[in-house]
Amino acid sequence: MATSAQPTRDDFAALLDATIGKDQGFEGRVVRGVVTRLENEFAVIDVGLKSEGRVPLREFADLTGKVDLVVGSEVEVFVDRVENAQGEAMLSRDRARREASWDALEHKFAAGERVDGVIFGRVKGGFTVDLGGAVAFLPGSQVDIRPVRDVTPLMNLPQPFQILKMDRKRGNIVVSRRSILEESRAEARSGLISSLAEGQIVDGTVKNITDYGAFVDLGGIDGLLHVTDMSYKRVNHPSEVLNIGDVLRVQIVRINRDTQRISLGMKQLEADPWTTAAANYAVGTKHSGRVTNITEYGAFVELQPGIEGLVHVSEMSWVKKNVHPGKIVSTSQEVEVMVLEVDEDKRRISLGLKQAQRNPWEVFAENHPVGSVVEGEVKNATEFGLFIGLDGEVDGMVHMSDIAWGMTGETALSRHHKGERVSARVLEVDIEKERISLGIKQLDEAGGPAVGTRNTSGGDWKKNDIVTATVVAARDGGLDVQIGEDGPVVYIKRGDLSRDRDEQKAERFQPGQKVDAMVVGFEKGRKPMLSIKALQISEEKEAVAQYGTSDSGATLGNILGAAFNKAREEADKN
């Protein structure tokens, strides 16, 4: 009987390599196995290797934590290693599910398809999402279209997500719930916008309030209600008239179908008060109103809800010039104004605050006619006179030449100071120029003649009279001279100092010097106006008339020389 051949060493090595090579091919793969037994918290699974593997039962649990597994069940597991230190195969149900899920997710990511998942945990910066075995990261900014304070209602609920990024080597998946919502909203917006039209009246709910307006939900799409379209009256902030959650009736003012933006209006549903503004607020009429806003250039006054007028700073006060409007009126103050201009096209009304009051210059002129005596406080002393504060908040001016008789203006000015109370006589009131001329020395009837009414001979000064005056002071623009010894101090302009332009220099005259001049007119208040130039021209004409004619061929020097010779001869005879 023949005996079987004994295996050689080479046969054993080949058999061992075949067996080990077969087992090594299992590593890193998902394979099917059979549950052989359940031990405590583990399931023992045979996958066809030389040894079985143990997998924790929790890896087979569903979202509720239930494990539906019995002996004989076929399951898919991932082979980490064929054999560990204890001689057991290292298997993982989680890895198997994850690998299968990654394969499916990669196909959907490449196709741009949505995936289903469940938010099940929180991590720094966002949340974790189970995508059927693969765990993805959901950033906080991608949870919803608007920030969500509480995500609890969204957790453990199956819902769609969009994969933004995948990296299998790093095991990194980033998903977004917001992109799904935006896509859905865009579809809803497109359908809703197509059903809306400009001018249509709809109902909406206030969702958000900003400094410039409010966003109103029209049932899936938001419209902007700008603050200027809330009411015809001034609205400083939308919160003054609206609250979040308010249900409004609005009109669609404008629709931009490209950008899907809708502009809304509330005031468009009301009657426009400007349609009757010109009839209700005629120019020149007075009305009461409330100050609503104060600016650098004036104050806005509400005449009725929806109609405001501007009182420019120049129309606020008769006497307060160059002051901030806030120093004249205050917000919410009731004031009386006069309508100055109405422009319905531009929706503008110009108002005057001072015009609703009497002109204080007119009141002063009525109460204090020329010649009356007033009393006031010296508010300011300048180089040319004194400003006196009078009743009605108006000021009068006493020129330096009208302060005292028999002294220069500078000396008279030095005798008075700011804050002093003085009496004065009213010389002139110019309502248009808002000027009041006063005189202090005119109160002293014994100290000198009334201003410009009497000459040194006791008669009235007349035009073309020749007077002798004493130079009081030389100024850049002319001379201050005093007529006679105790007459008024008057001013001779530079152009009246001489007929010759080269001689029209005030500096060639010295204080105390005597000069002859002609009365050429009178100022208001009958103060004489003098001219040396006019006297020279008059003397020349008289000389020409007596001693020559314009066509005699004689020169002015010949004529004047003859006149002087004749005068000398007559003097010698006498």
The pLDDT-based confidence of 8 (bands split at 50, 70, 90) is low
Please name which of 235, 227, 225, 184 lies closest in space to residue 202, comparing C-alpha atoms. Answer: 225
Judge whether 282-356 and 364-443 match in fold.
Answer: yes
* Strand positions, DSSP E, 266-407: 286-294, 298-304, 307-312, 334-343, 348-352, 373-381, 385-389, 395-399
State how far the Cα of 97 lies from the Cα of 263, in Å rounded to an integer. 51
pLDDT at residue 312 in the model: 94
Contact of 519 with 487, CB cutoff 8 Å:
no
Least confident residue range of 38-42, 66-70, 179-183, 456-460: 456-460
The residue ranking higher by pLDDT, 417 or 80, is 417
Question: Dihedral sign, CA of 513, 519, 521, 527?
Answer: positive
Answer whether 338's CB lies under 8 Å from 352's CB: yes
Q: Where are the domains of the chain?
A: 29-113, 114-182, 196-269, 282-356, 364-443, 461-574
Q: Tokens standing for 52?
A: 């079985």
Looking at residue 126, what is its pLDDT? 93
Average pLDDT (546-568) is 54
The pLDDT-based confidence of 548 (bands split at 50, 70, 90) is low
Q: Residue 148: count other Cβ atoms within 10 Å of its Cβ.
A: 14
Q: Quote the distance between the C-alpha of residue 497 and its chain's center.
A: 57
Q: Which CATH number fits domain 29-113: 3.40.50.720, 2.60.40.1930, 1.10.357.10, 2.40.50.140?
A: 2.40.50.140
Decide which of 22 and 99 is more confident: 99
Work out the pLDDT band at 565, boundaries 50, 70, 90: low
Tell me the longest C-alpha to C-alpha distance in the chain: 205
* Contacts (Cβ under 8 Å, ≥6 apart) of 63: 118, 120, 130, 156
As its CATH architecture, domain 364-443 has: Beta Barrel (2.40)
pLDDT average, residue stretch 465-487:
84
- pLDDT tens for 155-169 read 989 999 999 999 888
What local confidence, expressed as pLDDT, does residue 268 receive? 87
pLDDT at 3 over 50: no
Instruction: Work out the average pLDDT over 297-301.
Output: 92
In this prediction, residue 458 has a pLDDT band, given cuts at 50, 70 and 90, of: very low
Contact between residue 398 and residue 439 where contact means Cβ atoms under 8 Å apart: yes
Q: 461-574 domain in CATH 2.40.50.140?
A: yes
Q: What's the pLDDT tens digit per position in 305-353? A: 888 899 999 888 888 888 899 988 998 899 999 999 998 888 889 999 9
What is the chain's alpha carbon radius of gyration, rounded to the nearest angstrom? Answer: 54
Distance, in Å, from the CA atom of 467 to the CA atom of 516, rounded to the nearest integer, reads 6
Residue 553's pLDDT is 47
DSSP assignment string, 144-180: -SS--S--GGGTT--EEEEEEEEETTTTEEEEESHHH
Residue 500, classed as helix, strand or coil, is coil
Query: What is the per-residue pLDDT across 85-112, written as a single tens digit (0 to 9) for each?
Result: 676 777 877 777 777 778 888 888 988 8
> Residue 454 pLDDT more than 70?
no
Residue range 29-63, pLDDT digits in tens = 778 888 888 888 888 888 877 778 788 877 777 76
Percentage of the chain beyond pLDDT 90 is 17
Q: What is the pLDDT of residue 336?
A: 92
Give the CA angle between residues 533, 412, 509 to the nearest 5°.
Answer: 30
Mean pLDDT value of segment 229-242: 86
| Per-residue pLDDT at 567 exceeds 70 | no
Determine the pLDDT at residue 451. 43
Higher pLDDT, 72 or 19: 72
Residue 405 pLDDT:
78
- Does position 288 have pLDDT exceeding 80, yes or no? yes
| Between 552 and 59, the higher pLDDT residue | 59
**What band does 390 get if pLDDT is binned at 50, 70 and 90?**
confident
Q: Hey, CA dihedral for 188, 189, 195, 196, is it positive or negative?
A: positive
Q: What percent of the chain stands above pLDDT 70?
A: 85
**DSSP-assigned letters across all residues of 280-319:** HS-TT-EEEEEEEEE-SSEEEEEEETTEEEEEEGGGS-SS
CATH fourth-level superfamily of 114-182:
Nucleic acid-binding proteins (2.40.50.140)
Supply the mean pLDDT for the chain: 81
* CB contact at 8 A, 329 and 337: no
Structure tokens at 103: 């394969």
Model confidence pLDDT, tens digit, residues 167-213: 888 889 999 999 988 887 777 777 777 778 888 889 989 988 898 99
Highest mean pLDDT among 10-24, 187-201, 350-364: 350-364
Confidence category of residue 19, pLDDT binned at 50, 70, 90 = very low
Residue 349: closest CA among 337, 341, 359, 360: 341
Residue 132's pLDDT is 79
Fold classified for 282-356: OB fold (Dihydrolipoamide Acetyltransferase, E2P) (2.40.50)
CATH superfamily label, 196-269 = Nucleic acid-binding proteins (2.40.50.140)
Residues 6+ apart with CB under 8 A from 256: 262
Average pLDDT over residues 280-307: 90
Q: Pick 68 or 482 by higher pLDDT.
A: 482
| 289 vs 29: which has the higher pLDDT | 289
Nearest in space to 495 (alpha carbons), one of 538, 532, 526, 546? 532
Per-residue confidence band for 129, with pLDDT thresholds at 50, 70 and 90: very high
Distance CA 302, CA 235 (A): 12
The tokens describing 203, both together, are 């109902």
**DSSP at 84:** -
* Alpha carbon distance 37, 72 (integer Å): 8
DSSP lists the bridge partners of residue 129 as 119, 136
